[in-house]
Amino acid sequence: MNASLNSWVEEIARLTKPDSVHWCTGSDAENSRLIDEMLTTGDLIKLNPKTHPNCYLHRSHPSDVARVEHLTFVCTRNREDAGPNNIWMDPAEAHRKIDALFEGSMRGRTMYVIPYCMGPIESPYSRCGVEITDSPYVVVNMRIMTRMGDAALKRIEREGKFVKGLHSIGDLDPERRFIMHFPEELFIKSVGSGYGGNALLGKKCHALRIASWQARDEGWLAEHMLIMGIQSPEGQTHYIAGAFPSACGKTNLAMLVPPESMPGWKIWTVGDDICWMQIGKDGQLRAINPEAGYFGVVPGTNRKTNKNAYDMIQRDTIFTNVALTADNQPWWEGMESGTPALDWQGKPYSGKGAAAHPNSRFTVSAKQNPIYSSLAEAPDGVPISAILFGGRRREVAPLVYEARNWTHGVLVGAGMASETTAAAVGQMGVVRRDSMAMKPFCGYNFGDYWQHWLSLEGKTSKLPRIFHVNWFRQDKNGKFMWPGFGENLRVLQWIANRCEGKAGATESPIGFVPAPEDLNLAGVDLDKDTLNTLLSVDVGAWRQEIDAISKYLDEFKDRVPAKLRDEQRTVAGRLG
């Protein structure tokens, strides 16, 4: 009933020339039919129904296994609006280039029209979109990852506004692969890839790149963050949002299992990857998870590292690019049992190299998480007490420290760095600046983005406290110093207590750091020297760090807010 939606669908059908057009309803029957079709074509492989009921394996093309940041463009009329943190292309040129690849790209295929809602259907914080695709794999994944189908279409018809997404797998030629974003038009175009981050347009493309632009215009935040609830034995729950680059432990932290030595503590997962925050009527920053499922990195997932994730992917899950055992069970590096017979490409496994792709994934409904929060569907979201920034740093960054104030916290987020991971194409293990873990995802100039963060201070007096954490500090032998996993709750407990004014800290040049006695370490095996090192601030190393942050800010020239520059100089002054 939406005239603009109907005319757009007709326009795309004329361009791509599909054999048929199907409007997705999101029904069980539709989903079952699509799965059956993909089993017939070989796009899906049914896994062992006794061990993994209703689970399937999808193998993507070997050239199509991760996000392709070098082929991902932000197309704004003014180049500076995209900023040096994005690859820019003129919108008119971009449309011409990619539309030429869409010409006739769906011949012999069905064109699927997917109406979806990012966030709870009834939430005022949610935003809708429509993805057009020729991939049934995308349809069944979008059904898991979003609120997809008739309910979303009804909201679109009521509001009349939606983000457009056009996707075709094309011929999977890496030379004919582009992911283009037109934030001024609320439009995404992706061709030549079937990989999740490039093809599930509701995820990174809409929920971060386009939504960050929407959020700036409308006065809220769209962030690459987990959302978790931390419930004390006394029954008080604090909600925390945390930004970590991909494959740096967001999912594990969001589904943390408290150690046995901390009885009575509970964790609730609201989201593991994306967080939309708006200032609520109560003046607090309130968050929703726009996603309805998890598209998680599977290698390393086991009962020890992430019991909740491991348990929830034993049924009703789509795996992508994992290995297979002889009896058709999924297998990946980090499994505690089983032997791979076929690698992620379906070839007999020789025992050399990785059997599962390092960026292999699972797609599963969030409701299968044993600690899924009952407030994940709350229209008003959850109140955020603290925001965490963190990365994979072998040295320099202590286990945890708290920013002195909101402006300092924005600098902490802007300057955060991490080692690159397998979630993005390119060299692994290289340290790069990744502001707020949004380097691949911010849809506009980072200088303007930091200014938008700073602007929230003038809108409410109830902003969350900001912290930086680093679970990955290593000793001289390359061994992790902090035990991590469930023991991270000890750091989260200190953070929650700081929010209540109940925990001590020592002021350092970079912020407030807990003294050893401020942390609850009962039951954890950690010697005094290691703990002191974890909490130490090496002033000499931090002088180099703050100088490196200054040079990083220089990349954004006059778009860097003066207030952020002043804060960087203040920290430099504190370091002498």
Residues belonging to the binding site for Mn(2+) are 204, 224, 273
Active-site option among 24, 55, 128, 248: 248
**Long-range Cβ contact pairs of 136-139 (< 8 A, separation 24 or more):** 136/34, 136/37, 136/38, 136/43, 136/110, 136/112, 137/38, 137/43, 137/44, 137/58, 137/194, 137/199, 138/112, 138/114, 138/167, 138/194, 138/199, 138/200, 139/24, 139/34, 139/112, 139/114
The number of angstroms, rounded, from the C-alpha of 487 to the middle of its chain's C-alpha atoms is 23
Phi, psi of 414 (to 5 degrees): -65, -35
* Annotation says 128 is catalytic: no
**Which 3 state secondary structure label does DSSP give 432?**
strand
**Which 3 state secondary structure label does DSSP give 567?**
helix
- Contacts of residue 54, Cβ cutoff 8 Å, sequence gap at least 6: 315, 316, 317
Residues annotated as binding site for GTP? 247-252, 361, 392, 485-488
160: left (phi over 0), alpha (psi -120 to 50) or beta: left
Residues recorded for the chain: 576
Judge whether 434 and 244 are in contact, CB under 8 Å: no
Residues annotated as binding site? 67, 195-197, 204, 224, 246-252, 273, 359-361, 392, 485-488
CA dist list (Å): 313 to 307, 316, 369:
10, 7, 9
- Contacts of residue 320, Cβ cutoff 8 Å, sequence gap at least 6: 57, 58, 59, 60, 196, 360, 361, 362, 363
CA dist list (Å): 354 to 188, 324, 350, 420:
34, 12, 10, 18
- Give buried/exposed letters for 105-124 (b at 16+ CB in 10 A, else e): bbeebbbbbbbbbbbbeebe
Residues annotated as binding site for substrate? 67, 195-197, 246, 359-361
Could you give the residue numbers annotated as active site?
248
